[in-house]
Chains A and B, each alone.
Chain A
Amino acid sequence: MLGADRALTLLEGILKAAPSAVRVEVTLRAQDGGYTRFARSRVHQSAEESDARVSLRVGLGEQVGIASTNRLDKSSLKVCMEGALRAAEASPPVLALGPQAPPRPIPPLELFDEETAAWGPLERVETLRGIFETKNAGPGGAGATFAGAISTGKEEQVTVNSAGLRAYLAGTYAEVSLIAEGEAEGDYTPSGYASAASRKVGHLDLLGLGERALKKCRLAVHPKALPAGVYPVLLEPPALAEILQWLCYIGLGAQAHLDGRGFMSGRIGEEITGTSFSLWDDGGDPSGFSIPFDFEGNPKCRVSLIEKGVARGVAMDSAQAKRAGGASTGHAVSFDLSAESSPRNLFVAEGEASFEDLPTTLDRGLWVSRFHYVNGYLHPPTCLMTGMTRDGTFWVEDGKVRHAVHNLRFTQGMLEAFRGIRAISKERWCLGSRGEWGPYCVAPAVVLDAFCFTGGTPSSS
């Protein structure tokens, strides 16, 4: 970690080294942390890492060059600046460069936690010991093992530009994903999943997550096959979050929307889902994984994406905002003008039902814990997606779990599915993305009237 003074001094040095008439934006991102991966209740990968990367964008009128490096010595930064300038000089106009982020106060957010910053490999391992011993906590756990990952660390972002912006943040992160696995039953292994993310490791009930995964694993034994068909479905927060992640890729960012490729293109103001569904992005809400400004240094605005079923807006960086004739919403993910800006801090409005009561809304239906390998490129205008269930799929009848079922493939238009929301839980989980590419998501569980399952996993033999 560089600290605010050192980081700002370093980046101001880069600004000073640029020719005076050149527009310059510089962002440094640094990370200092580690992760411990485990499988079969054994640590198989454990690492500590630190790195810092400087990215810079220069503008000569509408000619733009971008360069980055993780070498922070003076001569390497000079080479980086020269590379960006040469790229700009050799490039035709890009036309799309938006205004630089102006200097402004940064909203006070509590991003840094001393306890989390102090965590290292030993703390992660000792926590895992407690989780691994969960299996002895009750009947039916014998033979269960755990797999997953715990990540903890510190991060910094500093953004400065030739318009006078000086923005710095330092934060911590803690994220865990856990699978409890039982004894194999042929090709099928019963399993249960739990995950959580926070800026404060103390906010994660790590032992409770282990118990939750194990409880689900115990329920998932002796699955029965279920024929393909349309069923009511209860989606737990991790399942819903994966769908939302794909909605971000295919239409909640401005690039696809402005091109006319997004599922909300030409539909702003139109009802596209059921009225109980509201989705927004808010980097300033501390109940999620808050962050005050984006890669360009613009403040993260709260963006209403879908409000009571009505399409409201999309996330934009400065270039897309220029194209749309508006202002950046603070969703730049890099200086690359072709990059798809995207929501990074999603929230789904909570409902009124308690999570425990949600199964009672199902006379007959499926309870899905988690999806695997969802893909939303089938037909983006209707948000047609496919994917498999995993880590606990259950048949519910008369409001009670009757038995586990073999994993199923769904192929479903999500806008259609969200038109039939039967219930939403009041409990929401903050789910992370450090191990993957998606947004952080504060999501409830939902019950949908109809969800199309198009096949199942049979035996390999």
Chain B
Amino acid sequence: MISSLGKKPNYHILNYPTHFQQVKVLARTAQNSQCALFSSLENLRGEEMKREIKEVIGAALHRLKSRGAAYGEVRYVTSRWERFLVKNGVLQTASQGEDGGFGLRVIHRGAWGFSSTPGEEEEALVRAADLALSVAEAASRLNREPVTLAECYPHVDTFQGVCAEDPFAVPLGEKIDLLVRATEALKSPQTVQAMGVLTSLRVDKVFATTEGAHIEQRFTETGGGITCTVVEGGEVQCRSFPTGHGGDFAQRGYEFIREMGLVEAAPRVREEALALLKAPPVPGGEWDVILEGSQMCLQVHESCGHPIELDRVYGDEISLAGGSFLTPEKRGNFRYGSPLVHIVADATIPGGLGTFGYDDEGVRATRTPIIKEGRFVDYLTSRETAARLGEASNGCMRAESWNRIPLIRMVNLNLEPGGKGAPSLEELIADTRRGLYIVTNKSWSIDDLRLHFQFGCEAAWEIRDGRLGILYKNPVYSGITPRFWGSLDAVCGIEEWRMWGLPNCGKGIPMQTAHVGHGAAPARFRGVTVRGA
């Protein structure tokens, strides 16, 4: 059942950004045979194929309607990727792949049903439509309350993310050479793993519904990083750049990789890793802590991003990922943190890993305030969960691929930079009498309500009388989400603020990996519990 909530398209969201435009970037196409491992969708299939896809989608939607589905949607998703990994100056992997298929989601007899097929023929789609209906029919035997969706304007539109330099058009040799040079510079007698990785991804999506929506989108992502692991006398330490766990990612072209400066950063990364072998463990106790930007990114992700997913709040993810302490009565009145905490969910920022034109329910991308001056004001929602609040969705449903059901996922969840007069990192350190500057995530853990977290990081420098001093190894800090954010007393300004990309946010059964972004600047927290691992 589709609810009749609201009669207007969902333009009610605040501050609809002026920079939300279809970004028209003429990317170089993958014509060079040395570069193009797989032909791109349009090269391989052309406009005729696109028309055929549109026709089979139309046939599937017609089938759903004619068999009485209350709602139906078809997603056609194709993707291609490349991955290069070099270890100790030697190539380990030059791999690439492609993937494609259709996902069909229906509401029938009051229940959801989903089926997927890699086949592109009309018969395969019609079979998948029938299967989705029978899946829903089975579920309806058990469900007493019918599914209700918030209304959504049926957009007909296209969107293309930013990509100045097509990563698939860059010669393989150039990419591999970059990693070879970077990892060579990480080598030392103690280095056991000098690793560099580069990844490129292109996703094309067609989305259409029985309500009349038809949306075509293209996204290009690139990412990578380097890690230096050193061993001496049974001690193992590592430093990573720009961040850990495979590096940093963005919805941009190869220009993002060029701007990283992997080769230039490598000697510093190596020296810091070696220095950690001799460093003492961080002294345990209560410290004033400055977290650098990439660790702030993960702090926001785990302790702010997941608890605001409304499907978690309603218990849909309890069996694996857990629930949330942010129960509905807290919305609008819960003190999440200090007045300096401003968090927005913004799917409209060009280049963010969580940026899109429309989510996987056809809801147009929004910029939604989540925490205003430390007060919790909104959730990330879907059409189904928003209907329970009597509102329109703010567009956060995404599926990992064509064969997965969309779930509520973070978009770009950003801690806004400090306002006028906010300090630079240098000024923030200078303003700290005794503290720790903690950098680069190594481990993460948080309870099933997203309250009690613990993060381990690669390194920490003591701050004494406003200056960086001793390097410590294995810093681990922990806290309780609202108390921790309540101790925030400074966020660096816009000059220090940047987007980070996480390509590995896990959720759901089967596990789905989402690509999400987080804007963050270094920030200071008072009286944080720290221990050495």
Binding site for B on A (CB under 8 A): 34-40, 42-53, 55, 64-71, 76, 79-80, 83-84, 86-88, 90-96, 120-122, 124-126, 128-129, 132, 147-149, 151, 177-179, 181, 187, 189, 191, 259-261, 266, 335-338, 372-381, 384, 386-388, 390, 407, 409, 411, 434-437, 454-458, 460
Contact = CB atoms under 8 A, between A and B. Distances in A.
A48 B112 contact: no
A70 B452 contact: no
Interface centre among B145, B234, B317, B509 (most CB of A within 10 A): B509
A34 B141 CA distance: 17
A351 to B, nearest CB: 29
Contacts of B451: 187, 457-458, 460
B24 to A, nearest CB: 29
Nearest to B136: A46
Given A261-B236, A386-B443, A177 B319 contact: yes
Contact of A337 (B92, B117, B235): B92
Contacts of B98: 68-71, 76, 80
Interface in B295-345: 314-320, 322-323, 325
Contact of B135 (A67, A121, A187, A260): A121
B100 A70 contact: yes
Given A45-B112, A378-B456, A390-B448, A336 B319 contact: no
A11 B217 CA distance: 34
A388 B445 contact: yes
A380 B34 contact: no
Contacts of A191: 318
Among A48, A80, A147, A381: residue with most chain B CB under 10 A: A48
Given A49-B403, A51-B101, A187 B452 contact: no
A39 B95 contact: no
A434 B509 CA distance: 8
Nearest to A255: B193
Which of B136, B180, B446 neighbours the largest number of chain A CB atoms within 10 Å of its CB?
B446
Contacts of B111: 43, 46
Contact of B318 (A34, A94, A179): A179
A47 B481 contact: no
Contacts of A86: 33-34, 37, 172
A43 B136 CA distance: 10
A92 B96 contact: no
A72 B498 CA distance: 42
Given A79-B38, A187-B451, A460-B449, 16 more contacts: A42-B142, A46-B136, A46-B139, A49-B403, A70-B100, A79-B39, A90-B172, A91-B91, A177-B320, A373-B448, A377-B442, A379-B533, A386-B445, A407-B447, A437-B511, A460-B451
A191 B320 CA distance: 13
Given A69-B99, A390-B448, A411-B454, A91 B443 contact: no
A178 B319 CA distance: 7
Contacts of B533: 378-379, 384, 411
Nearest to A409: B452
A43 B142 contact: yes
Contacts of A128: 142
Contacts of A454: 454, 478, 531
Determine which residue in B34, B91, B173, B325 has the highest number of CB atoms from chain A within 10 A of its CB, and name it. Answer: B91
A437 to B, nearest CB: 7
Nearest to B138: A121
Nearest to B441: A377
B118 interface: yes
Contacts of A380: 236
Contacts of B445: 373-375, 386-388, 409
A64 B449 contact: no
B231 A260 contact: yes
Contacts of B116: 47-51
Contacts of B325: 187, 460
B134 A121 contact: yes
CB-based closest 6 A-B pairs: A66-B95, A435-B509, A121-B138, A68-B97, A338-B92, A47-B114
A125 B314 CA distance: 21
Contacts of A70: 98-101, 118
A76 B83 CA distance: 20
21 contacts: A35-B510, A37-B509, A39-B316, A39-B317, A69-B97, A70-B118, A87-B172, A90-B94, A122-B138, A129-B142, A149-B509, A191-B318, A336-B92, A337-B92, A338-B92, A373-B445, A374-B445, A375-B456, A388-B448, A407-B447, A407-B452
B176 interface: yes
B447 A409 contact: yes
Contacts of A122: 138, 141
B319 A39 contact: yes
B497 to A, nearest CB: 27
B1 interface: no
Max count, chain A CB within 10 A of own CB: residue among B94, B315, B474, B511:
B94
Nearest to A83: B37
